[in-house]
Amino acid sequence: NEDPVTGSAHCALIPFWKSKLHKTTFRARQVSGRGGELFCEDARKRVFIAGKAVCYLKGSIFI
């Protein structure tokens, strides 16, 4: 039960495509069995990734 979209891979792919396409914002789609869509932005030394998510667990930690 892996994540439907691989955010870590997109962190590497976005700077690559930025250099090829001279764009800083992208809409990416991972075409896999479960797949999904991401909105990505290359902001100098960081890549911001956004998309839809579902909360499957909620809890509290008391210290």
pTM over 0.95: no
What pLDDT, in 10s, does the model give residues 2-46?
677 888 899 999 999 999 999 999 999 988 888 889 999 999 889
- Domains in the chain (CATH in brackets) are 1-63 (3.10.310.10)
Beta strands (DSSP E) in 21-60 are 25-30, 36-43, 46-50
SS3 10: helix
Distance CA 34, CA 31 (A): 8
